[in-house]
Amino acid sequence: MIDVDVLIVGGGIIGCSAARELSKFNLNVVLMEKETDICSGQSKANTAIIHGGYDAKPGTLKARYNVRGNRMFGRLCKELDVPLRWNTSLVLAFSEKDVPQLEALRQQGIRNGVTGLSIIGRDEINRREPHVSKKTVAALLSKQSGILSPFKFTIANAENAAENGVVFHRNAEVFGIKREESKWIVKSTIGTFRAKAVLNCAGVYTDTFNNQVSAVRYEILPRRGQYYLLDKKYAKQFHASIFQLPTHMGKGTVISPTVDGTVLVGPTAEDIMNRDDTRTTVEGLKKVFSSGKKIWEELPLQDAIKSFAGVRAHCNQNDFILGEAPDAPFFFNALGVESPGLTAAPAIALDLARQVSERLHATCKMDFQPFHHSIPTFEGMREKQKRRICTEHPGDEVIVCQCEGVTRWEIREAIRRPVGARTIDGIKRRVRAGMGSCQARLCAIQINEILEEELTSTFAHTALKFK
Ligand X SMILES: Cc1cc2nc3c(=O)[nH]c(=O)nc-3n(C[C@H](O)[C@H](O)[C@H](O)COP(=O)(O)OP(=O)(O)OC[C@H]3O[C@@H](n4cnc5c(N)ncnc54)[C@H](O)[C@@H]3O)c2cc1C
- Asked if 425 touches ligand X (CB under 6 A), the answer is no
- Asked if 29 touches ligand X (CB under 6 A), the answer is no
For 237, residues 6+ apart whose C-beta sits below 8 A from its C-beta are 131, 257, 263, 296
Q: Which of 6, 8, 23, 43 binds ligand X (CB under 6 A)?
A: 43
- Cα-Cα-Cα-Cα dihedral sign, residues 314, 315, 318, 322: negative
* Phi, psi of 61, rounded to the nearest 5 degrees: -65, -30
End-to-end CA distance of the chain: 22
DSSP state of 250: B
Residues 242-281 that bind ligand X (CB under 6 A): 267
How does strand 29-32 pair with strand 2-9? parallel
Asked if 342 and 43 count as a contact pair (C-beta separation under 8 A), the reply is yes
| Distance separating alpha carbons of residues 385 and 175, to the nearest angstrom | 47
- Asked if 312 touches ligand X (CB under 6 A), the answer is yes
Residue type, position 308, single letter: F
- Cα-Cα-Cα-Cα dihedral sign, residues 345, 349, 355, 356: positive
Q: Which of 4, 14, 139, 444 binds ligand X (CB under 6 A)?
A: 14
- Asked if 310 touches ligand X (CB under 6 A), the answer is yes
Query: 15 or 109: whose CB is closer to ligand X?
Result: 15
Show contacts of 181-185: CB within 8 Å, 24+ apart: 182/329, 184/7, 184/213, 184/330, 184/331
- Asked if 35 touches ligand X (CB under 6 A), the answer is yes
Residue type, position 177, single letter: I
Query: 24 or 170: whose CB is closer to ligand X?
Result: 170
- Asked if 203 touches ligand X (CB under 6 A), the answer is yes
- DSSP-derived 3-state class of residue 152: helix
List the one residue out of 356, 346, 10 whose CA is nearest residue 207.
10
Site string for ligand X, 383-422 (x = CB under 6 A): ----------------------------------------
- Asked if 225 touches ligand X (CB under 6 A), the answer is yes
Instruction: Count the site residues for ligand X by CB under 6 A.
Output: 40
Q: Which of 184, 205, 243, 296 binds ligand X (CB under 6 A)?
A: 205
Query: 82 or 342: whose CB is closer to ligand X?
Result: 342
Hey, how many other C-beta atoms are within 10 angstroms of the C-beta on 253?
Answer: 25
CB of 168 to ligand X, least distance (A): 11
- Asked if 47 touches ligand X (CB under 6 A), the answer is yes
Query: 299 or 349: whose CB is closer to ligand X?
Result: 349
Residue type, position 463, single letter: A
Asked if 331 and 214 count as a contact pair (C-beta separation under 8 A), the reply is yes
Q: Which of 6, 8, 10, 67 binds ligand X (CB under 6 A)?
A: 10
CB of 174 to ligand X, least distance (A): 4
Q: Which of 173, 260, 324, 397 binds ligand X (CB under 6 A)?
A: 173
- Asked if 357 touches ligand X (CB under 6 A), the answer is no
CB of 344 to ligand X, least distance (A): 7
DSSP state of 200: E
Asked if 66 and 359 count as a contact pair (C-beta separation under 8 A), the reply is no
Q: Which of 4, 141, 199, 201 binds ligand X (CB under 6 A)?
A: 201
> What's the count of helices (H) and strands (E) in the chain, helices before strands?
12, 22
- Asked if 341 touches ligand X (CB under 6 A), the answer is yes
CB-count burial class (<10 Å; 0-12, 13-18, 19+) for 405: middle
CB of 442 to ligand X, least distance (A): 29
- Asked if 339 touches ligand X (CB under 6 A), the answer is yes
CB of 4 to ligand X, least distance (A): 15
CB of 282 to ligand X, least distance (A): 18
CB of 404 to ligand X, least distance (A): 23
- Asked if 46 touches ligand X (CB under 6 A), the answer is yes
Q: Which of 4, 5, 15, 88 binds ligand X (CB under 6 A)?
A: 15
Query: 200 or 407: whose CB is closer to ligand X?
Result: 200
For 45, residues 6+ apart whose C-beta sits below 8 A from its C-beta are 225, 227, 278, 308, 309, 310, 311
Q: Which of 5, 7, 12, 92 binds ligand X (CB under 6 A)?
A: 12
CB of 154 to ligand X, least distance (A): 8
What angle do helix axes 444-466 and 424-431 make, rounded to 10 degrees?
Answer: 100
- Asked if 292 touches ligand X (CB under 6 A), the answer is no
Active site (catalytic) residues = 51
- Asked if 90 touches ligand X (CB under 6 A), the answer is no
DSSP state of 365: P
| Distance separating alpha carbons of residues 2 and 256, to the nearest angstrom | 45
CB of 276 to ligand X, least distance (A): 9
The residues pairing with 333 across neighbouring beta strands, listed in sequence order, are 200, 323
- Asked if 343 touches ligand X (CB under 6 A), the answer is yes
- Asked if 159 touches ligand X (CB under 6 A), the answer is no
List the one residue out of 9, 41, 16 whose CA is nearest residue 210.
9
Residues lying near ligand X in the complex (CB under 6 A) are found at 9-15, 32-35, 40-43, 45-49, 51, 173-174, 201-203, 205, 225, 267, 310-312, 334, 337-343
